[in-house]
Structure 1
Amino acid sequence: MADTHRINFEPVDIEMEVGEDEKILDAAFRQGIHLMHGCREGQCSACKSYILDGDIQMERYSTFACNDAEVEEGYVLLCRAHAFSDCTIELLNFDEDELLNSAPLQDVETEVVELTEHTHDIVGLKLRAVSPATYDFKSGQYSDLMIPGTDEHRSFSMATTPTNADHVEFLIKKYPGGKFSTLLDDGITVGDKIQLKGPYGNFTLKNGHVLPIVLIGGGAGMAPVLALLRHMSETEDTRRVRFYYGARTVQDLFYLEEIKALGERLADFEFVVALSESTDGADELGVIAESGMVTTVVEAREPELRKTEVYLCGPPPMVDAALELAAQQAVPGDQIFFDKFESPISAE
């Protein structure tokens, strides 16, 4: 059995234990400590921290996330880090209100209860927790789903809120040759069992925040945005909310009726679709439709983006463009929340 060590996080004064055979970020999840994170594969820098004391070694990671000079200075990616002594680590990016206010990591056996084709390449998958019979998470988070018959997983955002106790809904984009998405056409059926692990992610509404909200989504990035809208409707949130969704044509749009209904229950809501290839047919849908990329539309319609909280989820190029726009508009980093699944393990 691997040796265990104590980790002390500063400046929040939180302690936990970690085995030498587990990554520090995973150990935190296991113990209900919600550290900031992103890809969990050493590709981004969301979990970058600083070693104040102790022996830590990292598995393979991207030098774009943590370059050699930073590693030499003492920076570390917690998603790739193993501790080989008691350590003190300074967290560089954290939300003190969220640190101890998240559900511990859970392994859940689920059963497929529904498969729905929303568009030619977006499939809805609803799962019911079987063992255990409940799954605790926050609106906007994501889960890992095991690919049946393998030891591989894919990461997908959840579109449901915790009040939907009878199922968890995922919106999954199909990719040619994708190991999970291929099974949605021929392989996964109602009644099948799928192992789920989670929850992960910081794409959640923060208690006590009052700034207006700008939601930017594309493709299967609809899922966590829909979860936030459902949550805000349930809690009768009174903030100004603007939802911008990027697609190619009207054939790529879905859940329009529910979004309209959710918006009617919010105090100040507007839904705008940005269609990059054609706006033909948009008038018949009864939605505000603009021509162009979603970030271009947001730039034109949100001149005071810096005074909002911005939530982003979608294809990596869209998220990158939106982050660049947020930087140009001087949006503070603690007002930006996003999930960008970019590693080979979670590219679907």
Structure 2
Amino acid sequence: MADKHRIQFEPVGIEMEVGEEEKILDAAFRQGIHLMHGCREGQCSACKSYLLEGDIQMERYSTFACNDAEVAEGYVLLCKSHAYSDCTIELLNYDEDELLGGIPIRTVGTRVAAIERVTRDIVSLRLEPAEQFDFRPGQYVDITIPGTDEHRSFSMATTPGTPSGEIEFLIKKYPGGRFSGLLDDGLAVGDELSMTGPYGSSTLKDGHVLPVVCVAGGAGMAPILSILRHLKETGSTRPVRFYYGARTAADLFYLEAIKELGADLTGFEFIACLSESAQDSEGLQVEEGNVTEIVERREPELHRSEVYLCGPPPMVDAALTLLEASNVPKDQVFYDKFTSPATDGA
């Protein structure tokens, strides 16, 4: 049996135990400690921390998330780190309210309730959990690929208050995708799937009052819909603007649902940002161009907003560059950056 060690997190003064065989981030989740995280695959740097004392070794990770100079200095990615001694780690990013107050991560069985194509390459998958499954708007789960130990991560589009109890996911299809390929041939209503979660730090913060600016593309529509639905359910009066990036009007979907949600939200605007063509977009508020360019043009006061991002990694990267240039404080920016399925066989 592998040795176990103690981890001390500073400056919060939290201690936990970790086995040498498990990653530090996973050990934290197991013990109800919700550290900041994003992709959980060593790609995004959300869990980057600083090793003050001890012996840590990392599994394979992206040098874009933690470069060689940072590693030499003592920085580590907790999602890829194994401890081989007692360690003291300085958390660089943390949410005090979330640390010990997050929703416990667990695995539940589900039944496929519906599979519906909503665009040429995005499919709605609705799952019915076997038991109550709590999560916060903006979070995601891992769904296990049937017959394997592999999983894929997908954000919830619904809220825990959805009357049917079903949880909806919006999944982009990729050629040869291990999971998305099953949506055409391999999964059917009534089939069982296992999911684990909830994960993610890109959650709507109750009690905040700043205007909300949402920026999404592709299947990144899902967590934004969850956030909008929660704002409606709670009677929020925060002004909301939603920028959605797509190629053409044919790639837009759920427009009626968004319109209905917006009718109950303060100062709501939905702007479809079409990068290739605005043809056949009559009746919509449409801007031509990349979504980040349009946000920059229309939002001169971005630094006075909370910004929620979800979409393809290049879109998220471009948006983060814009937000930094716009002097948006980091604690007003929320996103979970997923690895591109096109490169990892999703």
TM superposition score category, shorter chain reference: over 0.9
Superposed CA deviations along residues 163-185 of structure 1, whole A, max 9, x for unmatched, are: 12621110000011111111100
Are 2:149 and 1:151 aligned? yes
Q: Offset at 1:346? A: 6.7
- 3-state DSSP class of the match of 1:290? strand
Measure the CA separation in 1 of the matches of 2:206 and 2:264: 20
Give distance in 2, aligned partners of 1:233 and 1:334.
23
Whole-angstrom CA distance in 1 between matches of 2:70 and 2:207: 35
User: Residue 273 of structure 2 contacts residue 287 of structure 2 at CA under 8 Å; is this kept in 1?
Assistant: yes
**Deviation (angstroms), 1:129:** 1.3
- Tell me what 2:327 maps to: 330
Gaps of 5+ in 1: none
* Structure 2 residue identity aligned to 1:186: D
Paired residue secondary structure (2:12):
coil
Deviations 1:253-288 (A, max 9, x none): 1111111111111122111101111111211xx321
Matches of 1:221 and 1:163, distance apart in 2? 21
Letter of the 2:161 partner, please give it.
Answer: T
Q: Which residue of 1 aligns with 2:277?
A: 278
Name 1:38's counterpart in structure 2: 38
Partner residue in 2 for 1:294: 291
**In the alignment, does 2:251 pair up with 1:252?**
yes
1:160 corresponds, among 158, 161, 176, to: 158
TM-score (ref. length: structure 1): 0.95
Write out per-residue CA displacement over residues 114-162 of structure 1, whole angstroms, 9 at most, x where no aligned residue: 11111111100011112xx122211110111111112211111110111
Distance (whole Å) between structure 1 residues aligned to residue 239 and residue 216 of structure 2: 17
Residue 187 of structure 1 aligns with an amino acid whose one-letter code is G
- The alpha-carbon distance between structure 1 residues 322 and 347, as it changes in their structure 2 partners (threshold 3 A), is farther
Q: Is the 8 A contact 1:43 1:343 kept in 2?
A: no
Paired position in structure 2 for 1:174:
173
TM-score computed with the length of structure 2 as normaliser: 0.96
Q: Which structure 1 residue ranges, 4+ long, deviate > 4 Å from structure 2?
A: 343-348
Task: In structure 2, list runs of 5 or more residues that go unmatched.
Answer: none
Question: Is it true that 1:78 corresponds to 2:72 in the alignment?
Answer: no
User: Given that residues 23 and 82 in structure 1 are in contact (C-alpha distance below 8 angstroms), is that contact kept between their aligned partners in structure 2?
Assistant: yes
Q: Is the 8 A contact 1:40 1:79 kept in 2?
A: yes
3-state secondary structure, aligned to 1:228: helix
Count of residue pairs the alignment pairs up: 344
* 1:1-348 matches, cutoff 5 A: 1-130=1-130, 133-164=131-162, 166-283=165-282, 286-342=283-339, 348=346
What letter is aligned with 2:281? A
Contact 2:178 2:345 (C-alpha < 8 Å) held by counterparts: no
CA distance in 2, matches of 1:135, 1:2: 32
Shift of 1:232: 0.4
The residue type paired with residue 57 of structure 1 is: Q
Corresponding residue SS for 1:210: coil
CA shift, 1:69, in A, is: 2.2
Answer with 174-183 or 53-62: which moved more: 53-62
